[in-house]
């Protein structure tokens, strides 16, 4: 009786074997010294993630973005990088790609958006990320979005993201990080989710923690206050010695620069150049968008961008991984609320007691950070905001309202 032959491996088994060998090679490189990643940027916007990663030594080979104003900026700032205009038609990424990054749309996940959730028409485009990751089994993936996604629909967005990567064989970790940790006077909290098939994402996101330092600002006369003059009825974006989160638009459907009450009582709106700097970009980074001639495009682009210093910090830790700190952890079970930091590296999901400040860079006060002359907030805008505060059930600091009333009188307005 002749010995039966073993059936040949099918294509899927062969592909998995090759992917495993590649993963082992990448893992050895990562363990020994970190590595410079070949980056693919999806939903690239104006390149905040990619600029920060480039500053840390990583190289972007492909960008994907459909917004015409953002595309003009990317062509200006990344002239040698291949650009694709629609993530839905992107069929492949470069074979050498080792890191996919995606600040995917937040319109359906933001508290200021329509809250339709992770499967809404814009935020649901994350399906294309899953499709490309599943096809190429990219060693590392970095996602960025708003922290409200952890609460909306009992955290269905994070549940979807985490479960998809778990099924694909990835370890993952995420952490909410505040841009103020990097010295920028902008209160900007964002979720950074890092997944890997070859390494431990905790070595990147949880190798640093500066505790929860008390913010330098106070309610003293010597400190500037940032706020959104388009709000004031149901809520108020307001920050001491900082700008509240820069955003792409307002409920009034207009470009939405915040306003600043300076220590001397002057009330004005910062320039687009200072807004770029508040995100960590060089001044005039988005200047190419002016050629598209869309009113307010640069404010929208800057408001939707990823903070460059946060991306730079992640990029440096990708090159030089540390060891995860001994942070307190709590098991996460089905139906639990998603915390501000968590991981699953193979032993189940756990919440992590980590601060939103992984580092503390020298902080520049808001009134000294603003370089270019601010435009006075108009009498109409000031009067409208004060009118909304009177009808609102919100509490406002008396000194803050007094400064606005004085500014209105200075501008010759009345209510």
Q: 3-state secondary structure string, 7-33?
A: CCCCHHHHHHHHHHHHHHHHHHHHHHH
* C-alpha–C-alpha distance, residues 151 and 407, integer Å: 38
Which CA distances in Å does 155 have to 148, 150, 303, 343?
Answer: 9, 4, 24, 15
> Do 235 and 394 touch, CB atoms closer than 8 A?
yes
Structure tokens belonging to residue 178 = 């505040």
Q: Euclidean distance between the first and final Cα of the chain, in Å? A: 102
* C-alpha–C-alpha distance, residues 142 and 335, integer Å: 25
Three-state SS at 55: helix
Which residues lie across from 186 on neighbouring strands?
243
64 is catalytic: no
Structure tokens belonging to residue 192 = 């950074």
Residues with Cβ within 8 Å of residue 347, at least 6 apart in sequence:
none
- Matching residue, tokens 């190798």: 207
Query: Sheet harboring 375-376: ordered strands across?
Result: 238-240, 225-227, 259-261, 267-269, 375-376
| Residue of 73, 106, 195, 301 marked active site | 106
> Do 91 and 348 touch, CB atoms closer than 8 A?
no
Closest residue by Cα to residue 310 from 143, 126, 75:
143
| Phi, psi for 392 (deg, rounded to 5) | -80, 160
* C-alpha–C-alpha distance, residues 398 and 388, integer Å: 15
Tell me the CB-side half-sphere exposure of residue 303, using CA atoms within 13 A: 23
| Phi, psi for 187 (deg, rounded to 5) | -80, 95
> Do 194 and 142 touch, CB atoms closer than 8 A?
yes
Closest residue by Cα to residue 370 from 267, 286, 221:
267
Residues with Cβ within 8 Å of residue 193, at least 6 apart in sequence:
142, 143, 144, 145, 158, 161, 172, 173, 174
| Phi, psi for 376 (deg, rounded to 5) | -60, 140
Residues marked as catalytic: 106
């Amino acid at each position: 009786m002749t010995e039966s032959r073993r059936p040949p491996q099918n294509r899927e088994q062969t592909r998995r074997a090759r992917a495993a060998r590649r993963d082992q090679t990448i893992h050895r490189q990562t363990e020994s010294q970190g590595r410079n990643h070949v980056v693919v940027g999806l939903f690239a916007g104006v390149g905040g993630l990619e600029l920060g990663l480039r500053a840390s030594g990583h190289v972007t080979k492909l960008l994907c973005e459909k917004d015409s104003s953002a595309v003009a900026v990317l062509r200006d700032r990344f002239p040698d990088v291949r650009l694709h205009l629609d993530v839905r038609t992107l069929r492949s990424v470069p074979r050498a790609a080792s890191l996919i990054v995606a600040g995917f749309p937040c319109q359906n996940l933001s508290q200021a958006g329509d809250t339709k959730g992770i499967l809404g028409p814009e935020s649901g485009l994350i399906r294309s990320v899953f499709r490309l990751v599943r096809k190429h089994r990219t060693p590392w993936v970095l996602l960025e979005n708003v922290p409200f996604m952890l609460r909306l629909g009992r955290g269905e967005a994070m549940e979807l993201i985490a479960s998809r990567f778990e099924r694909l064989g990835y370890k993952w970790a995420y952490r909410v990080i505040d841009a103020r940790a990097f010295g920028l006077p902008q209160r900007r909290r964002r979720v950074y989710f890092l997944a890997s098939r070859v390494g431990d994402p905790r070595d990147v996101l949880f190798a640093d923690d500066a505790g929860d330092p008390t913010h330098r600002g106070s309610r003293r006369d010597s400190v500037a206050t940032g706020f959104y003059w388009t709000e004031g009825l149901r809520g108020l974006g307001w920050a001491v010695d900082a700008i509240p989160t820069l955003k792409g638009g307002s409920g009034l459907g207009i470009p939405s620069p915040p306003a600043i009450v300076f220590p001397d009582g002057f009330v004005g709106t910062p320039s687009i150049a200072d807004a770029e700097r508040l995100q960590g970009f060089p001044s005039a980074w988005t200047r190419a968008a002016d050629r598209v001639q869309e009113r307010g495009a640069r404010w929208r682009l800057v408001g939707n961008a990823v903070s460059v210093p946060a991306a730079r910090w992640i990029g440096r830790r990708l090159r030089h991984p540390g060891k995860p700190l001994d942070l307190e952890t709590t098991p996460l079970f089905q139906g639990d609320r998603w915390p501000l930091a968590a991981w699953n590296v193979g032993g189940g999901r756990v919440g992590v007691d980590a601060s939103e400040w992984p580092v503390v860079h020298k902080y520049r006060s808001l009134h000294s950070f603003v370089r270019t002359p601010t435009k006075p907030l108009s009498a109409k805008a000031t009067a409208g905001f004060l009118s909304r505060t009177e009808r609102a059930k919100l509490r406002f600091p008396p000194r803050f309202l007094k400064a606005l009333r004085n500014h209105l009188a200075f501008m010759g307005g009345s209510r």
